[in-house]
Structure 1
């Protein structure tokens, strides 16, 4: 009995020891111990390792090799769950780790945005319109005010009046309200403003100073306009000798040689900066050809050669469309229509017998705009102008002939001469050149008589020297010798 009792007592005692050890193991594994220095309950595995003062590293937890039931319980504890009703919270490293210096980027950094500088003033030219007191001058001023390459527009009235407060001043005040970057100024001959109007001008446009009857003969119109144009040329030589001169005062066939002789006397003649306008007859011829062919007028161009008006004007309708020629009777009919266009649009009442002001102003504005763009090196336009001929291209009795030219920054770059013409056009051109030679000889005789540079040409009726007259062919012969 004693042995049996001792055996059972030993079994009971051993079972208590095993039970206590198991409970203690479960408590150690499943419950967290309280930290001594920290107020929160944390698991042993969640306590971060000691930070190395020499090389601080981010807090990383160790990973166990085996993943069992205890690992799943730990994950729940870390994620903020509970274990048997005991709350736990996620442990994080509260110590701030110093930031590592960033490596320099491989690519270049983006440039810093800078404020754009103020744009420079837009380049432009200064245009002086002489004889702007007519209706053509006012319409032309309206069109040139809208040109972006013109920075200053000066208008000069050639009619003598009682003071400067005339209609031109009202027109200028009206033009100033247009929102374009072009300054418009008015000058009058009553205030002696011709010299001030021409100062520092890049382009000088000469218009007719008064209304002339288109039915007047060329000699009368020349005698009326010659003294005024001569005074214009003298003022240009004094104020703006390097300006590009566009002559629109009729008869243009006579005014261009007169200006050339005047500038030669002063020593400022440049044949590359003197141009007689054929914009108006060329516009009329192009429009007439486009209507006959049912084409767009702006894509049809009919060049004009020879002179600028009347019998000297030769429109080349064979150049209107490539590989197409009008019949001879149609060419003759359209040529007569272009030559008689000024009379066709004239009116019968009053001393003013010109009503083609709008179309002429449009054509002249296009020519001035093309020359302005060429002087600013924006373009190299090809226009038709009445210029001095090149002896290497054309041998004729006339020194000045109309033909196509290319305009650049320094003026006329190249004179293309007379283009290839049909037999009928060549016959008309020969007659036109003979008429031009007569008109230019008349201009030379008048210039030799009134050679003085004084503005009062009527007071100088004598000749300073005995002129020597040479024909065109003799000049060529002497030049070759």
Structure 2
């Protein structure tokens, strides 16, 4: 009895030691903003996180103090630009999540945010290249179709670009698709896994409804496609000038970040999520980045999934998305050059 108990105790210690070793530092840049605060709250609950490092130009110490009282194991630290705060926030980070930037207002497209957010993303990329070049970088800052290339080109200039570790977070499009389809089919959204490909704005968002195994009328396909492509506008209009989709984006961002941690830290297999990454799928048409389902592994992007069988309707959507994506990507690349 005593021997069994001692063996069990040793096994328990080994398990604790292994799980403790598999924890990591996560940095959120833009942590005091509309997306950053709820995203940080959700990441505080992730068991893989040892240290949650929050950075913004103002108010971060207060956000960090508030979140630090939540009774999970991770330590929370808040930084501003003073006293090399960005350096402290980034050093030794395993995952860096970037929702920094200005939100959309009524009448604005994601592309309208370009001039302001492009500079912010470039500056954060330069700091990331310097202080945590081997981290996994999750870009939420809009317009994602352009900010991901900006981040990539900045890392390339510093000689530290790893395409397996740079992700444009497009999970919100899949979250919305799941919810909207479930509403009209009277299903639990958890049971609806709708693949969404392309990019992360307007007509570049292409839901592959034909792969769901559901029957839709032409009117339903038109309405669903439009709502998934422009779902963000519903929130912007409903908030009447006070913000954009912050809470749902925080949920989607935390979901993707948790998947990255599950694969890279937890060793979980068959972790599949959508993401806007460097891809060869439409490279021959001048589109270097494209969002499809990707399989995550210990080192990041392990496999990029193709489109599979798609309908003529969806082929037409992609034919319209590709030129727009090419323009968005080129705009990001040119900004850095």
Query: Normalization by structure 2: what TM-score?
Result: 0.91
Residue 327 of structure 1 pairs with residue 217 of structure 2: yes
RMSD between superposed Cα atoms in Å:
2.2
The corresponding residue for 1:266 is 158
d(CA) in 2 for partners of 1:431, 1:230: 28
Match of 1:336 in 2: 226
- Corresponding residue SS for 2:284: coil
Instruction: From the CA coordinates, give the structure whose radius of gyration is larger.
Output: 1
Cross-structure match for 1:381: 271
Matching of residue 149 in structure 1 with residue 48 in structure 2:
yes
Shift of 1:190: 3.6
Contact kept? 1:211, 1:352, Cα under 8 Å: no
d(CA) in 2 for partners of 1:293, 1:347: 26
Equivalent of 2:149, from 240, 257, 279?
257
- Aligned residue among 167, 177, 186 for 2:78: 186
Q: Measure the CA separation in 1 of the matches of 2:89 and 2:217.
A: 49
Note the 1:3-22 alignment, pairs <5 A.
Answer: none
In structure 1, the residue matched to 2:294 is 405
Q: CA–CA distance in 2 between the matches of 1:338 and 1:350?
A: 20
Q: Distance in 2 between matches of 1:327 and 1:395?
A: 34
Q: Which has the higher helix share?
A: 2
Question: 1 CA distance for matches of 2:303 and 2:187?
Answer: 30
Give, in whole Å, the separation in 1 of the partners of 2:272 and 2:171: 12
Structure 1 unaligned regions, length at least 5: 1-108, 449-481
Corresponding pairs, count: 329
C-alpha deviations, 1:192-224, integer Å up to 9, x for none?
311110101111111032333253245541111
Structure-2 separation of matches of 1:331 and 1:378: 35
How far apart are residue 279 of structure 1 and its match?
1.0
Matched, 1:295 2:187: yes
Q: 2:33 is matched with which residue?
A: 134
Runs of 4+ residues deviating >6 angstroms: none
Change (3 A) 1:319 1:258: same
The aligned residue for residue 48 of structure 1 is: none
Rounded Cα–Cα distance in structure 1 between residues aligned with 2:4 and 2:326: 70
Q: The residue matched to 2:200 in structure 1 has which SS?
A: coil
Look up the match of 1:62.
none
Which of 162, 170, 195 is equivalent to 2:87?
A: 195
Deviation of residue 380 (structure 1)? 3.0
Q: What displacement does 1:358 show?
A: 2.0
8 Å contact 1:203–1:243 — kept in the other structure?
yes
2: distance between equivalents of 1:147 and 1:434?
A: 39
Could you list the runs of 5+ residues in structure 2 that have no partner in the other structure? none
- Say which SS state the counterpart of residue 395 (structure 1) adopts: helix
Deviates more, 1:382-391 or 1:218-227: 218-227
Match runs of 1:296-445 below 5 Å = 296-320=188-212, 322=213, 324-347=214-237, 352-354=242-244, 356-376=245-265, 377-390=267-280, 395-445=284-334
Contact map agreement 1:387 1:402 (CA 8 A) in 2: yes
Distance change (3 Å), C-alpha of 1:432 and 1:447: same
Aligned with 2:270: secondary structure?
A: coil
